[in-house]
Structures are given as structure tokens and as C-alpha cells.
Amino acid sequence: MKPYQQIPIAENHEPLVAIPRDRVAFVTPHPYEKLGAPYGDRSPFSLRQSVCDRLLAAQTCLQKQHPDWRILVFDAFRPVAVQDFMVEFSLKELAQERGLNPEDISLQQRQELLAWVHQFWAAPSLDPATPPPHSTGGAIDVTLVDDRGEEIDMGSPIDELSERSYPLHFASSTDPQKKAYHQRRELLFSIMRSSGFQRHPQEWWHFCFGEQMWAWLTREETGDRSIVARYGGILSVTP
């Protein structure tokens, strides 16, 4: 169990809503739907209402600094079935990268691979006490696009299973290009933080509000142990 999964959840039953398509940009076709992930009747471009409102506030903050830039939404709501699908997909990709046959690995090799995968992908739990962050509607994966609609280079792609994904990976670099990557990550961080989001400690692109990771990070930051999660898992998905 990860530390944030111990945070109590006081579900407030806020609705899941579609992210407005006229304010921010979207990765299309959606990368996980393209792979065949089972979303059923749910859209991956959905969030809890307050989280959606905060995303739009972050977009407004960005425009004050870069009037023609937009937040690019890679992924938002993710049913547990999709989480399971993507964990298995990522495990197979990682096995292949390490020269292993995903269909012929030992139990020990699988556990070693999963240990690395789970640094980036939450376990697909159906336990109401430990929902994956994206399955609550309170987590979102984002980056930025410039005035030409081109994605800003952050130094590593979203979902890369490597240390380059760590938000501060380039922080101490003296290389001009790597320093630029860090500055761009910090710009993204600053606009999301301005709207109350917390950032995943190991993913520069992952931000959250209202769910267990947000509550845990906010507790660690403020010392206020009364903070609890507002959002639990949304489990009902029609095939």
C-alpha cells in the first residue's frame, strides 16, 4: 500500500463532467482508447466538476503569461478496467524493453517489473478504500501547446517509465536544453498549483485535486492531518 492510500475518503458525490473543448486542447485520438482500453460509456476527457473548474482556472493563468498557449489534456478520468488494461500493457512494454518475452516471464520477473510499473501506474484496485487516482475523476495528465498548436518539449514523453519522468529530473543540470526542460515543467507546475492542484512526485504531467494523493501531499505540505479526500472511485461503467 502506498502512503496516500491510507488517507480516509469522505465522498462528496460531485458529478463527473466533460472538459469543455473550447478552452483547452486534447490529444486525439485518445491514446488509450486507440490501444483498445475498455472505457465503456465513460469519456476519458471527464473530471469532477470542481477539478474541471480548476483546470479552466489554470488555463486562464497560463494565458496571462502566454496568451496563445493552451493546456493539452492527455488523459483524465480512467475506469478501473482501463487502469488494469494499461498496467498490463505497460508491463509488457517494459519486459520487451528489457529483452524479455512478456508471455514467458517468471513470477519473480513479473513482480520486479510490476514494482517499476507501479511507480508510475497505480494498482487497479476495486477496493473503495484504495481507488486509483484517475478512477476518482480527481486526477489529470497534461502538458502544454504553443501558439501554433505544437506540443512543448518537456524532456520526456508522458507515460515514459524512466527517471526522466520525475518532475525535478533536470533541475540541477547545467546543460541549456535540459535547463529549458526544467523551466517548462516548472511553468506547468506553477499554473496548475495556482488553481490548487498537487503534482505527482514521480510524474511531471500528473496533477490531482480532491482525491487521496492530493490529500496526502497537502497534509505533508501543511501538517494538517484533518485533511481527507473528497473523491472516491467511480466504479459504474457500462460496456
Measured CA to CA, the distance from residue 127 to residue 125 in angstroms comes to 5
Active site residue 14: no
The residue annotated as part of the active site, out of 103, 112, 203, 221, is: 203
Give catalytic residue positions. 203
